Structure 1
Amino acid sequence: MKRFARWSDSTAPALAVLAALLARVDIATKPLWARLQRVREVRSAGLAWLDAWRVAGMPAIAGGASLTEGQHAGEFLLGERSADTRETVTVLSGQNLKAGAVVGRVNKGVGRVSTPTVVGTGNGTATLVFAGPEVELGNYVLTCITAVANGGVFSLVAPSGKALPNLTLTVGAGATTAYTSRHINFSITDGSTDFAVNDAFTFIVSTTAPIVIGTGNGTISGLSLGPDAKTGTYRVENIAAVVNGGEFKVISPDGDMIANGFIVAGAGGTWVLANQRQLNLTVTDGATDFAVADAFNVCVFNQAPALAPGKVVAWDPTTFDGRDDVAGILYDNVDASAADKTGVIVSRFAEVMKGSLIWGAAITASQKESAYLDLAKRGVIAL
């Protein structure tokens, strides 16, 4: 008791001050504690963070405007089971994607390979142009590197910069030499004026619809891909001459006939292929009738070098250019509205929250379930 009394006597004033301070703190914080409890209750009801603070009596921000906090980088992740769950990608120009967006890669497109004229001294010609399975979007440049009387040696460079095998022309006045590859195929015919070094042909692979080869002047339009589209050349050929019409067949890159039909409705009539597994199109009658063997060479091309991954866009199961296959989930926001931009996706061996994933417009519940299965095949489990 003596020890306690001695200790109490020496510390009593300090203890009294401390007790008074604690009482003041308790009184000051009780209202704040009550407010924070209200924040917790309201937030659990599903309101946004700022709305919860306003309901709790906190000061309004920006004149009472409600703000919503976006999803942060990787916030959709529950866990990653490997050191290589992520990969660097290029987000396609025109896309503005948020963290957690389910994405696909655009790796195919449809259009044509142009038939160019030579730029330079010579006047030889290029004909019989068509695409192979490794054809790339962009320009193929065929350049004379060795001048030879009634001939020549040419280099060929793909859009990716890859050097393809050279072409050596068969020597002879007016001789024609065929070039074959898995990229593009064509024939070069010697002209009356020899090719000179640096004379060049530029074969352009683009989304432009092809022009008919032959007599008629009808057109092809409405080109789009089906889920089973193959890269290479689809030949749309007239097999029966009909006044203001024609009967057409479609031959796939594998050589299979996948469709045939007639132009209907007379002059200016059309033949429409829609909802096909490989290729959709419309052939329209022109002022000059199609002759037998008139044809359009439709090119289905690789958006990037063959076997390379394509650029990332929002996943869309109804557009069959590659974006219909789930590639992963965007790790952070990427605004590529004006130009291609680099991003990162989670593409394998991870667990993610279903409720935190972001979907493109009009994606249905059943389509989301299909995407979850595709993600699971990559080792990405949505919970």
Structure 2
Amino acid sequence: MSERPLRNTRRTFLASSALGALSAVTTGPTAGATDGTTEPTATIECSTVSVDDWGSARSARAVFGDGSFVDVGDGAPGAFGAPGRVIESVTFADFDGNEWTLTDDGTDCDPGEKSVTFTDSRATVRPGQFLEMDGYPGTLVSQVDLHFVDGTSQEKVHLEGPQSPDGITGVYRGTGEHAGKVVEAVEIFHDIDYVTHYVRNPAAEKYLLGKDTCGERLVEVMGATEGAVDYEFTVDGPVRAVTLSDGRGASPGGNDAVSTSGDTTTVSGSTGNPGYSDVYAVGGSITDFSQTGGSGEYVLREAEWRIVADTAPATDLLAVVATEQGEVAYEFVVDGTVRKVTNAGPKRSAGANDEVVDDGDGTVSVSGFTGNAGYGDTYAVTGDVTDFARTDGSAAVHIDYNGRERTPEELVAEH
């Protein structure tokens, strides 16, 4: 395997590419005129690098706008890339240290459908990802690693010799001690041209917000029902307040406090109501947590958004909210369970005209009706939202998903 990338992948490799661009000026064509090296000829086509002539180059790295990259370690494929992701630059290199960098000025393009997709905790790898070969890795020395937002990794596949026809395509998620963790990236290696695909999960960024180092974890105390939640917890290490949005952030000096005694930090605060929370960056283990007052129910969750403590029967809150005058009817499907939240206040509670139906195959169908700016229906959801559709009405609508605004298209795309 190649060296694993640094966590700030995008900035690290864009800097590397910038150095390559300087090298292209000083050692590319110039070297070709004096010592026999030949500059490669290639074209960037949104998500694909098409190579007409590798020249003297024997390796290359394509860097994508989302921080993903594809490395060709030693070979000369006619094309490589990552469907659905836009290339920012590609740097070729030979074994003598010469580099040539090509940047893409036309990044406002349609990269097509992604061949590697993610939920928060799952990566799906499809055969179309491997543009550098006619098929996909299977009977090769191959490896798949998952990297998680908490800085840990897990090897999922290490193949040597003949394997099943599916090879290394498929669905990957953390198991054992990594079960339920949010995936930051999937890294795939195979030994035809020694190619590495490092594909970042777009859903991971929100879980890294507020974190200074990999050692920190975000801890969120979120209201799950109407009513206040007063709490206190202690940490064996440092704690600092973090603000993610207007409704999600701690307020030191207000109703939240952080105090330190030696190596122990005590945090006390108050939150409540669905979609509102206090957030902290924690540099050690939580040694105690208790609800000290209030009648509301809460969810306490850590960095990878695995549930640490839960007094509510579901983990995600989804509200369908109209944003203008008018009416809207909708349907959505969840691969899991759904229940109506009827105590989310006069404007956001699901009502009698909203229906939750168990489809009998592990999925649940929800149909509802709302309207007028600020009014909506709230549901407690476990599992992925696989489909969402407007069935009637013309009012504009957005989805409030765990306190974050989503369009229907964004909600389904995340899952």
TM range (shorter): under 0.3
Greater RCO (CA < 8 Å, at least 6 residues apart) = 1
Q: TM-score, normalised by structure 2?
A: 0.22
| Larger proportion of strand | 2
Larger radius of gyration: 1
